């Protein structure tokens, strides 16, 4: 436990502090979808079991009445904790040259697809999926990592979309942690993971809807807060084909967002490639890291908010990069000639280009 709390390099946390301060004090009034995202902290199991009701049920045990200000405050604290967890993991990476750590922290803060995008779209449930994924990178015993992996499908109670968004990432992290070997033990653990995933998904789809009139449900949600909240019809039975059609029309008509989304996605892939090349890590050995990207692309057909899917793909790849570096601790401790490395400087040019973008898909 002491190792988890110990800070080796305060400078990394100072970078995070300046980045978060910029979001809070300069961009405070520029976040989007607050009224829309607010609803997910209010869903609970008051009527009966519904999908996305877990966080709201937990919030019911906190003796405060949620309003917009408190919602933003809680979301901001969660974002700060997420940043600290990322930086703590980076702090444990013992590069021979700390510039590689500084770049990773700067990328986390500056990239319009990472923390910056979460700030603009503050309050999304996606942050809980990211939190859980980081557990695999902590210096925990393998037995604990196995339990974390087996139980990970329970995050579907937070958001059923995590089936495509984060469960593949959990698998990739667990697989890397276990030296990417299918031993008899690992096959059994993977089988339990798949079995529990299907069980939870079946329960959500079979029982995660309510028969109560939507107006009654909406009035109940609004009664839980004095603030303004926009309640969507996500828990009522609808035609899945109609939802898919709406998603396709919405997601595939924003050419600008697709262009900027791919720029962020390919930048992240290229950065992974540069890190692997500089430290002589065989990237082909880790091709499993692209599995979550493939599954997340399915969300463009199954859900709205195309920018979220690009952001989550970039978060997944960022976490995969950290997992690869953790798996190659000995190689990153060796000296790398940064002075004569054009690729290293090129990564910093990428950061400079990212600076004007305040969030994924929006250029202010």
Q: Is the pLDDT of residue 363 over 80?
A: no
- Which pLDDT score is estimated for 323? 95
DSSP secondary structure string, 291-338? HHHHHHHTHHHH-S-HHHHHHHHHHHHHHHHHHHHHHTHHHHTS----
The first and second tokens of residue 308, run together, are 């979220």
Mean pLDDT value across the chain: 85
Which residues face 362 on adjacent strands? 359
Q: Is the pLDDT of residue 269 over 90?
A: yes
- Which pLDDT score is estimated for 143? 92
Mean pLDDT of 337-353: 84
Q: Comparing 49 with 272, which gets the higher pLDDT?
A: 272
User: How long a stretch of residues is the chain?
Assistant: 364
**Which segment of 147-151, 162-166, 206-210, 283-287 scores lowest on mean pLDDT?**
206-210
State how far Cα 41 lies from the chain centre: 17
Q: Comparing 211 with 219, which gets the higher pLDDT?
A: 219
What is the spatial distance between Cα 267 and Cα 245, in angstroms, rounded to a whole number? 30
- Which pLDDT score is estimated for 29? 63
Give the contacts of 182 (CB within 8 A, at least 6 positions apart). 190
**190-199 tens-digit pLDDT:** 999 999 999 9
DSSP secondary structure string, 191-236? HHHHHHHHHHHHHHHHHS---S-HHHHHHHHHHT-SS-----S-SS
Helices marked H in 6-65 — which ranges? 10-26, 34-38, 54-59
pLDDT bucket at 27, cuts 50 / 70 / 90 = low
Mean pLDDT of 56-80: 87
Q: In this structure, are residues 31 and 72 in contact, taking their beta carbons and an 8 Å threshold? A: yes
Mean pLDDT of 213-241: 76
pLDDT bucket at 250, cuts 50 / 70 / 90 = confident
Q: What is the DSSP letter of 98?
A: T
Q: What is the DSSP letter of 357?
A: E
Give the contacts of 297 (CB within 8 A, at least 6 positions apart). 309, 313
**Which segment of 206-215, 275-284, 290-299 scores lowest on mean pLDDT?**
206-215
- Which pLDDT score is estimated for 225? 86
- Which pLDDT score is estimated for 171? 96
Q: What are the extents of the domains in the chain?
A: 2-363
3-class DSSP state of 91: helix
pLDDT bucket at 361, cuts 50 / 70 / 90 = low
Q: Is the pLDDT of residue 78 over 80?
A: yes
74-to-2, 53, 155, 190, 328 alpha-carbon distances in Å: 27, 18, 20, 35, 36
- Which pLDDT score is estimated for 28? 65
- Which pLDDT score is estimated for 166? 94
Q: Is the pLDDT of residue 286 over 80?
A: yes
- Which pLDDT score is estimated for 364? 41
């Amino acid at each position: 436990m002491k190792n988890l709390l110990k800070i080796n390099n305060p400078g990394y946390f100072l970078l995070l502090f300046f980045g978060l301060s910029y979001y809070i004090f300069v961009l405070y009034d520029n976040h989007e979808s607050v009224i829309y995202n607010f609803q997910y902290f209010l869903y609970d199991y008051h009527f009966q079991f519904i999908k996305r009701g877990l966080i709201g049920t937990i919030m019911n045990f906190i003796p405060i009445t949620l309003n917009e200000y408190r919602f933003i405050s809680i979301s901001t604290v969660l974002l700060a904790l997420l940043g600290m967890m990322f930086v703590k993991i980076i702090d444990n990476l013992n590069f021979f040259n700390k510039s590689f750590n500084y770049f990773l922290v700067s990328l986390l803060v500056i990239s319009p697809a990472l923390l910056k995008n979460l700030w603009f779209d503050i309050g999304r449930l996606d942050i809980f999926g990211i939190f859980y994924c980081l557990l695999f990178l902590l210096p925990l015993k393998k037995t604990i990592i196995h339990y974390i992996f087996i139980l990970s499908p329970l995050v579907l109670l937070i958001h059923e979309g995590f089936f495509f968004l984060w469960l593949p990432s959990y698998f990739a992290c667990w697989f890397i942690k276990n030296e990417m070997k299918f031993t008899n033990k690992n096959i059994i653990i993977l089988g339990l993971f798949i079995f529990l995933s299907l069980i939870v998904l079946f329960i959500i789809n079979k029982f995660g809807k309510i028969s109560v009139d939507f107006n009654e449900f909406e009035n109940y949600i609004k009664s839980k807060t004095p603030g303004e909240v926009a309640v969507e019809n996500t828990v009522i039975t609808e035609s899945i084909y109609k939802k898919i059609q709406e998603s396709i029309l919405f997601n595939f008509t924003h050419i600008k967002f697709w262009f900027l989304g791919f720029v962020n996605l390919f930048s992240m892939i290229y950065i992974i490639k540069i890190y692997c090349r500089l430290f002589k890590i065989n990237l082909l050995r880790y091709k499993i890291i692209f599995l979550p990207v493939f599954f997340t692309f399915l969300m463009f057909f199954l859900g709205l908010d195309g920018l979220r899917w690009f952001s989550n793909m970039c978060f997944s790849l960022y976490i995969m990069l950290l997992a690869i570096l953790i798996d190659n601790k000995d190689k990153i401790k060796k000296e790398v000639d940064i002075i004569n490395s054009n690729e290293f400087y090129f990564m910093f040019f990428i950061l400079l280009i990212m600076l004007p973008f305040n969030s994924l898909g929006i250029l202010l």
